[in-house]
Copies of this chain bind each other. A is one copy, B any other.
Amino acid sequence: MSDGVRAGVVVTGSELLTGKVQDRNGPWVAQRLASLGVEVTDILLVGDRRDDLAAGLRFLTQQRVDLIVTSGGLGPTADDVTAEVVAGFAGAPLVLDPAMERHIAELLRKWAARTGFTGAALTEANRKQATVPAGAVLLKPVGTAPGLVVTVPAGPVVVVLPGPPRELRAMWDAALNAEPVRNLLAGVPPFTAVHLRLFGLPESEIAQTLREVGAELDLSDIEITTCLRRSELEVDLRHRPGAEAAAARLVSEIEQRHGRYLVTRDGGSTDELVARLLGGHTIGLGESCTAGLVAARLADRPGSSAYLLGGVVAYSNEAKTALLGVPPELIEAHGAVSPQVARAMADGARATFGTGVGVGVTGVAGPGGGTVAKPVGYVCLCVTTSGGAVRESAPVLPGSRADIRERATDLAMHLIRRVLAEQPEPAR
């Protein structure tokens, strides 16, 4: 699986090189390209400097890429130089596009009316953002900057996208539809992908399975990537026509050996699955250390108000008692971080919100507050239902305060999933 289309990604932004901002565009673009079967060879982060960006474009050309995607440097300020540098790279002059100038002027007029900012700064920004390499395909602005698709003679196709992740993502489909990009992608050989998502299985176990299956079966035509992200292990199998039988056999071996860790077989996320399982149910939350993260995670999905009735962030013991009905004696006897209190919070959340499913999370997120018996990372989780089902877990989670809270949120999602997967559909 190597004779396909190769791509490189260049992300510009001096703030990325001081570590102030974490780049979100490189991984997003790489993931999109990979899903289309394009091989990404490099992701390069460079500052907002002409020479550095130009050097990056030359480097990727030496890496024999067919496609370069850039992000950033399309804004109105003097350090936004991408259009100019890409024009130079392609040997194309910069020209003012009158239609685009009018279009941006219209966008700016609306924005000015809303914000009250007007004047010379705007006119200047307008002209700069409508100045593009001659011959470029222009992609309609999402903010005020158009995207560009520039074909370099005897070189790669360069797709120039804005830096704000929202704008870049909104422009992606238009970029793929631009003729030079469409023509390139038509050259990607066909392939089939299978995505397995597992929860709670060590990566070494999958590695062993792959070794053992590989000993009796030719897996050389299957590209296998495993990726551990927090507690979820994703196994991606990708193969060209002809390797169907081997791929099917491998999937069935993984299912047989590790079936109880399997979350989804179709690439679907845990959150999608939980949302689907919550259809027809209602859920309420009682959170202490996760402090709203589980509620926010459930509410991420459109339509979540159909099942998510509410949650209580009960940081103080008083709030646990007043809003979730946790008996003070229970806290006294077992401590605020205890399986008993987590269960009372889950039951209390059901009572408070009148829901069928309740979730309780209480733990020591750190960095302070740990003891020998209840160290930093000790988190008690419980999910209960009006039908009497109970799922609980009380691990010591590794990492920083942020890691612990995120992992506890993941775990809550999986406990909800397990309770619901065993629940019959409620009568409506």
The verdict on A366 contacting chain B, using a C-beta distance below 8 Å, is yes
**Contact flag A17-B30 (CB < 8 Å), given A292-B294, A295-B313, A299-B291:** yes
B residues within 8 A CB of A368?
302-303
Fill in one digit per residue for A14-39: 1 if any B CB lies within 8 Å of its CB, else 0.
11111111111011111110100000
Min Cβ gap A297→B in Å is: 8
A59 CA / B54 CA spacing, docked (Å): 12
9-residue interface stretch from A84-92, A174-182, A245-253, A398-406: A398-406
B residues within 8 A CB of A403?
166
9-residue interface stretch from A43-51, A271-279, A381-389: A43-51
Is the beta-carbon distance between B313 and A207 smaller than 8 angstroms? no
A5 CA / B202 CA spacing, docked (Å): 39
A206 CA / B45 CA spacing, docked (Å): 24
Is the beta-carbon distance between A117 and B205 smaller than 8 angstroms? yes
Is the beta-carbon distance between B302 and A292 smaller than 8 angstroms? no
B residues within 8 A CB of A319?
309-310, 353
Fill in one digit per residue for A210-244: 1 if any B CB lies within 8 Å of its CB, else 0.
11000000000000111111000010100000000
A153 CA / B249 CA spacing, docked (Å): 47
Is the beta-carbon distance between B55 and A34 smaller than 8 angstroms? no
A31 CA / B14 CA spacing, docked (Å): 12
Q: How many residues of A contact B (CB 8 A)?
A: 110
A86 CA / B117 CA spacing, docked (Å): 53
A140-198 residues with Cβ-Cβ distance < 8 A to B are 164, 166
Partner of A76, one of B62, B204, B227: B204
The verdict on A311 contacting chain B, using a C-beta distance below 8 Å, is yes
The verdict on A99 contacting chain B, using a C-beta distance below 8 Å, is no
A71 CA / B210 CA spacing, docked (Å): 24
Give the residue name and chain of the B residue nearest to A34 (CB): B18
Is the beta-carbon distance between A166 and B19 smaller than 8 angstroms? no
Partner of A296, one of B296, B308, B354: B296
Give the residue name and chain of the B residue nearest to A301 (CB): B401
Is the beta-carbon distance between A45 and B43 smaller than 8 angstroms? yes
B residues within 8 A CB of A294?
292
Is the beta-carbon distance between A29 and B19 smaller than 8 angstroms? yes
The verdict on A410 contacting chain B, using a C-beta distance below 8 Å, is no
Is the beta-carbon distance between A27 and B19 smaller than 8 angstroms? yes
9-residue interface stretch from A118-126, A325-333, A337-345, A417-425: A118-126
Min Cβ gap A314→B in Å is: 5
The verdict on A262 contacting chain B, using a C-beta distance below 8 Å, is no
The verdict on A70 contacting chain B, using a C-beta distance below 8 Å, is no
Partner of A292, one of B26, B299, B309, B354: B299
Is the beta-carbon distance between B310 and A313 smaller than 8 angstroms? yes
Min Cβ gap A64→B in Å is: 10
A187 CA / B227 CA spacing, docked (Å): 38
A16-B27, A17-B43 provided; 7 other pairs, C-beta below 8 A?
Answer: A17-B40, A19-B34, A19-B40, A20-B227, A79-B226, A121-B205, A124-B207
A-B contact pairs, 20 of them (CB 8 A): A14-B225, A17-B34, A17-B43, A18-B236, A19-B26, A19-B40, A21-B227, A23-B27, A26-B45, A42-B46, A44-B45, A75-B203, A76-B204, A78-B210, A121-B208, A291-B308, A292-B313, A305-B315, A308-B315, A309-B316
- Which A residues are closer than 8 A to B by beta carbons? 13-24, 26-32, 34, 40-48, 52, 55-56, 59, 62-63, 75-79, 115, 117, 120-122, 124-125, 164, 166, 202-208, 210-211, 224-229, 234, 236, 285, 287, 289-296, 298-300, 302-305, 308-316, 318-319, 322-323, 352-354, 365-368, 398-403, 405
